Amino acid sequence: MDASAAGPGPLTATYDRIGVGYRDVRRADPRLAALIDQALGGARTVVNVGAGAGSYEPAGREVTAVDPSQVMLDQHPGARKVLAGAERLPFADGAFDAAMAVMTVHHWPDLRRGLAELRRVSRRQVLFTYDPYHRPELWLLTEYLPEIGAFERARFTPLATVVAAMDAHTVLPFPIPHDFTDGFQSAYWRRPELFLDPDVRRANSTFAQLPAAVVEPAIERMRADLASGAWHRRHADLLALDAVDYGYRLLVAGG
């Protein structure tokens, strides 16, 4: 199947605009993929809600991808693709052994309704998300773009609220490795030069939705700090670390 009567959600326009080339930058990291696969347990059928281009979908299982953006689904290699929003999943109760949602709940217009839909259509729910109130924050937010922090606190629900809403029985921290392959914002905590690449920024929804008048001066300050060595002097401690906990968590609910 490739479409749904439920239709796309309000994020369609956003990801139809910023989603082109997304798959080139947002490449699934095998360490996170293994954690998600383990959390799915013995599930044979899985619905991936907010699937995007299909990152982290486990091999060897029957996966149905759901996303409100046709541009994203066009980049998805799978055969089972449904154009729909999380709040109105066009499936029967208990249709899947498990539901998964990776770095997507902050985009859902109605988080509680979306989580209720995951629980309605599946026996087990696996969700990967981020706590915007976790400390330490990524240096990008504190030194160059505090607007990102404000934007994320406005759209990400506090982790404790998500845990309670989905009735999660497991909360696993996921420190971000220094060579993480999935180009979301914190992936480059030890590789600041990659933020200078406009393709990297376009594949990050926060960057893509901030005005150029805000982003470009900050990037130029970063460029100057990298050229002078100021960034490396400030963050010599980070350069010695293999991973940092920036508040990313894997939540598991259900049986």
As for how many domains the chain has, the answer is 1
| pLDDT for 23 | 56
Task: In whole angstroms, give the CA distance from residue 162 to residue 131.
Answer: 10
Residue 97 lies in a domain: yes
Where residue 37 sits, what CATH number does that domain have? 3.40.50.150
| pLDDT for 24 | 58
Global pTM? Answer: 0.87
Residue 7 lies in a domain: no
| pLDDT for 7 | 38
Residue 248 lies in a domain: yes
Residue 110 lies in a domain: yes
Query: What's the mean pLDDT when you consider all of the chain?
Result: 89
Residue 5 lies in a domain: no
Residue 185 lies in a domain: yes
Domain assignment of residue 59, given as a range: 12-254
Residue 181 lies in a domain: yes
| pLDDT for 19 | 46
Nearby residues of 140 by Cβ (< 8 Å), 6 or more positions away: 148, 185, 192, 195
pLDDT at 151 over 60: yes
pLDDT top residue among 101 and 15: 101
Q: What is the pLDDT of residues 160-212, one digit of tens each?
A: 999 999 999 999 999 999 999 998 889 999 999 999 999 888 888 788 789 99
Q: What is the pLDDT of residues 33-57, one digit of tens each?
A: 999 999 999 999 999 999 988 989 9
pLDDT average, residue stretch 68-95: 94
Task: In whole angstroms, give the CA distance from residue 174 to residue 141.
Answer: 20
Q: What is the pLDDT of residues 13-28, one digit of tens each?
A: 455 444 445 555 578 8
Residue 21 lies in a domain: yes
| pLDDT for 199 | 86
Task: In whole angstroms, give the CA distance from residue 135 to residue 141.
Answer: 12
